[in-house]
């Protein structure tokens, strides 16, 4: 959301908050405010036009915000080729990355999440890492492999960022670690 929309929402919220608090605490008399608006502001055509334009802008900001919420996450990545359009769903990319990461010896219980937007593709990989691997070189290697795989799949023109979130470090000796896997959200991809 743009800076101007946030500024308008903050201004309107503070104004309404002060009016409601002032009227509840008996600091403001709403009849005086209504009388001032009717007598002074609505008698002048310039102020009427400014009020109407302000209302229209507020409605447009609200519609834009609702549109941003609804279409926040695109469900597929569309690429153009000389033969036509190719659409790859984010679920297919996540499934491919999960299969690729399951073969890694140092990684377990991986859950990749792919988000596509106007700025590019962001991949967030959550999982557990074996404590016996070199953490920095291992994660760097995984990031490079995932980025290279997606560049081969989607093309060189895409901006791809790979983030890795380590949930647990797994130790071989000592106590056996019992892991509780978080349940998958049903119908997440629909």
Tell me, which fold does domain 86-170 have in CATH?
Answer: Alpha-Beta Plaits (3.30.70)
Mean pLDDT highest for which of 15-19, 30-34, 46-50, 140-144?
Answer: 140-144
Q: What is the pLDDT of residue 144?
A: 92
Reported in sequence order, the residue ranges of the chain that DSSP labels E, i.e. its strands, are 76-81, 84-89, 107-117, 120-130, 160-170
Q: Which residues contact 114 (CB under 8 A, 6 or more apart)?
A: 90, 93, 94, 97, 121, 122, 123
Domain spans of the chain? 3-70, 86-170
Q: What is the pLDDT of residue 174?
A: 46
C-alpha span between 94 and 90 (Å, rounded): 6
Q: CA distances (Å), 31 to each of 26, 42, 134, 162, in order?
A: 12, 15, 72, 58
Q: For 138-149, what is each residue's pLDDT tens digit? A: 888 888 998 998
């Amino acid at each position: 959301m743009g800076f101007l929309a946030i500024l308008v929402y903050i201004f309107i919220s503070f104004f309404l908050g002060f009016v409601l608090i002032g009227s509840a605490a008996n600091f403001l008399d709403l009849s005086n405010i209504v009388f001032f608006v009717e007598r002074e502001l609505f008698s002048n055509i310039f102020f009427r036009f400014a009020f109407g334009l302000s209302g229209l802008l507020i409605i447009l900001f609200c519609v834009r915000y609702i549109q941003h919420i609804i279409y926040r996450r695109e469900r597929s990545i569309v690429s153009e080729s000389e033969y036509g359009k190719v659409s790859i769903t984010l679920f297919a990319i996540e499934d491919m990355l999960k299969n690729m990461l399951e073969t890694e010896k140092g990684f377990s219980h991986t859950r990749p999440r792919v988000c596509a937007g106007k700025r590019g593709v962001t991949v967030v990989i959550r999982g557990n890492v074996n404590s016996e691997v070199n953490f920095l070189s291992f994660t760097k290697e995984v990031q490079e492999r995932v980025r290279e795989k997606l560049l081969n799949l989607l093309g060189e023109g895409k901006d791809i960022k790979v983030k890795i979130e380590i949930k647990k470090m797994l130790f071989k000796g000592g106590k056996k670690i019992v892991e509780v896997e978080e349940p998958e959200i049903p119908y997440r991809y629909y």
